[in-house]
Structure 1
Amino acid sequence: MSLQMDAAELMEFLDDIFPQVRGDFEVDDLSANEISMRLCVQEKHLRPGGTVSGPSMFALADCAAYAMVLARIGREALAVTTNCSIDFMRKPSAGADLIGTCKLLKLGRSLAVCDILIHSVDQDAPVARANMTYSIPPKC
């Protein structure tokens, strides 16, 4: 199946429907079954102890999965997360962006399943791994 939206269209759509996180995320790479999305780490993403917060890493995983699903199905703002499991494996760097690489494992009529691996740009080992399931609204 081909892409319904390219990286620029995805970012424009995300900026329109989620203006509260405008500037937080960028698409680095996009193909039919994989997207690499960047969290542009800022002071607001940090927690005490000099690391990126868990909620910020969750947001990256969720945004990457959402963008991957939208890239395939098109502009469908009402696709929603129905399940998430995230493993925080090591401390990310406070001064480095995070990259979430999302692989689309299954895209059905009503559900999509994605796996996301998150790295700090200055570390080889992953800092977190997430599995996300999205519900896709029926076509009316």
Structure 2
Amino acid sequence: MSLVMNQEQLADYMENIFPQVHKDFVVEELNETSIVMRLLVRDAHLRPGGTVSGPSMFGLADVCVYAIILARKGRQALAVTTGCSMDFMRKPDGGNDMIARCTLLKLGRSLAVGDVLLYSEGSDKPVARATLTYSLPPEGSAAAEFG
């Protein structure tokens, strides 16, 4: 299956459905099986000690998997996260953006699974790893066409 949305179309759609946070995330690379996304780290993403907070890293991983689902399936605004396993491996550098590299492992009719490695920009050592599962609305339903 090929991409239904290119990088620009995906960014426009994300801005439309998530106006409150779309400026936090930038799609850097996109193909049929993977996506690279950046979290533009600001003070709001930091916790004491100068590190990026866990919720901010989860948000990046979650948005990353959601974005590749959108790029492959089209406008699926009501696709929802049903599971996440996240391992935090080392302290991220709060002075740098976070980079997420996501591989789409499965894209079925009702479920999608993605694996995400998160890095501090400039480092080749992952700071966290997440596997997320999404439930997709039935094809042809009003939920599948939302947005």
TM tier relative to shorter chain: over 0.9
Runs of at least 4 residues of structure 1 off by over 6 A? none
CA RMSD of aligned residues (A): 0.7
Equivalence for 2:103:
103
Residues in 2 aligned to 1:88 and 1:10: alpha-carbon distance in whole angstroms: 28
CA distance in 1, matches of 2:128, 2:79: 24
Shift in Å, 1:124 = 1.7
Report the CA distance between 1:22 and its aligned residue: 2.4
TM-score of the superposition, structure 2-length normalised? 0.93
Counterpart-to-counterpart distance in 2, 1:8 and 1:47 = 32
Tell me if the contact between 1:52 and 1:92 (Cα under 8 Å) persists in the aligned partners: yes
Aligned-residue identity in percent: 61
Q: How does 1:48-63 map to 2 (within 5 A)?
A: 48-63=48-63
Unaligned ranges ≥5, structure 2? 141-147
Shift of 1:11: 1.1
Partner of 2:4: 4
1:122 Cα deviation from its structure 2 partner: 2.2
Asked if 2 retains the 8 angstrom alpha-carbon contact of 1:87 and 1:128, the reply is yes
Name structure 1 gaps, 5 residues minimum: none
Cα distance between partner residues in 1 of 2:54 and 2:86: 9
Residue 24 of structure 1 aligns to which amino acid in structure 2? Answer: D
- Whether the aligned pair in 1 keeps the contact of 2:89 and 2:127 (CA below 8 Å) is yes
Check conservation: 1:81, 1:134, Cα contact below 8 A. yes
Residue equivalent to 1:92: 92
Deviation at 1:76, TM superposition (A): 1.1
Q: How many correspondences in the alignment?
A: 140
Q: Distance in 2 between matches of 1:33 and 1:139?
A: 21
